Amino acid sequence: MDSDDESLLESLLSGEHRALARVISKIENRSPGYRDLVSQLYAHTGNADVIGITGSPGAGKSTLVDKLAEAYRDRGETVGIIAIDPSSPFTGGAVLGDRIRMASTVGDMDVFVRSMSARGTLGGLSTATADAVKAMDAFGKDKIIVETVGAGQNEIDIVRTADSVAVLVPPGSGDDIQTLKAGILEIADIFVVNKADRDGADRTVQELREMVHIGEESGIGGGHHGVDTGLDGSDAVEDDAAGSDEGWTPPIVETVATKGTGVEAFIDELTTHRAYLVDSGARAEKVRTRYAEEIRTLLREDVHTMLEDELAESGGIDDLAEAVRQGETDPYSIATDVLAPVEACLENVETDASEDTDTE
């Protein structure tokens, strides 16, 4: 890491918000040296509570996040907010960069708000989001709130980033309840019926209760999602704590974010869930699962870059595709040829490691 980045890291760790903003920009832009910088952050993380807020568009996520931050500040805790916005198809930047509904904490330096682009990620969270969370954690923020795009049932990447996930459901949202049944139920630690002063709130609460009950009987949700997600297609990690009789049952909280009603009750449930994670051992397992997914993601990115370079040396993907079109070869043969040098390299590494072990 060069001297400029070392100085930037020192400034961040000493509590300079300008340095935090610069580090997140470096992370989001994938600027040279960002990986070394992020690597240095890990030793200073693990103290913040990371809270995920998701749900359908119009559920009132931004307003609730604003009131949540205000309540935490009243308790003397510092807050970092990462608002994941839809990506511009032209620049890749956040479309809704102006957080116009987060007005209560404007001017409070202990509430740091950052909009980030989803960058087309299916689950709504870019790889940079997890790194930005680490930057805020290392900075010393007590609470880090990640508000997602709210694109529907694919909004599940947040479970890998947050300790506690709250799913917002507006009243009278029959279609939203169906969407939850299709996927988001599995990631909810807490359900929040926001705008609870509107007609249909009682019915929505009842529908959610029935859904949670059905989920518990079928082994979906009810604490099982916390670690045993299997969202990446890999083998899910067994979660004895969540799968036992002491597993977590998602509570349902009613709020009116515009008035601040129910926010304290929501915070109490978040605190209770945090205690459950720690006491049951589920938090440690969840962190291990999170790091495992980070390793997989980095390996996928690095291998993808290596293979793109290898394809370029082989004449480029367009020439190879043309060769397939002309019947000269096929995609499987090309993949085998491109991977051959990588496999040979890995075999050499394994051989060298085995020889070193035998020598010892």
| Sheet hosting strand 164-169, strand order edge to edge | 111-117, 79-85, 143-147, 49-55, 164-169, 190-193, 252-254
pLDDT of 229-258, one tens digit each?
444 444 433 343 333 346 899 999 999 999
Instruction: Give pLDDT, residue 330.
Output: 96
Instruction: Give pLDDT, residue 234.
Output: 42
Residue 73's nearest CA partner among 253, 258, 263, 269 is 263
Q: Which two tokens stand for residue 63?
A: 């307003």
Per-state percent for the chain, helix, strand, coil, to nearest 5: 55, 10, 35
CA dihedral 340, 302, 32, 125 (to 10 degrees): 160
Residues in the chain with pLDDT values less than 50? 87-98, 100, 120, 122-124, 152-154, 222-245
Quote the CA–CA distance of 194 and 261 in Å, as a whole number: 9
Question: Where does the chain hold its CATH 3.40.50.300 domain(s)?
Answer: 46-280
Quote the CA–CA distance of 56 and 36 in Å, as a whole number: 36
| β partners of residue 190 | 166
Intra-chain end-to-end CA distance of the chain, in Å: 33
Element (H, E) at 68: helix 61-74
Quote the CA–CA distance of 30 and 171 in Å, as a whole number: 40
Question: C-alpha 171: how far from its chain's center?
Answer: 26
Sign of the dihedral through C-alpha 190, 194, 198, 200: negative
Residue 163 near residue 137, CB atoms below 8 Å: no
Instruction: Give pLDDT, residue 178.
Output: 61
Residue 47's nearest CA partner among 163, 156, 157 is 163
The superfamily CATH assigns to domain 46-280 is P-loop containing nucleotide triphosphate hydrolases (3.40.50.300)
Residue 144's nearest CA partner among 222, 48, 12 is 48
Residue 174 near residue 80, CB atoms below 8 Å: no
Quote the CA–CA distance of 139 and 31 in Å, as a whole number: 20
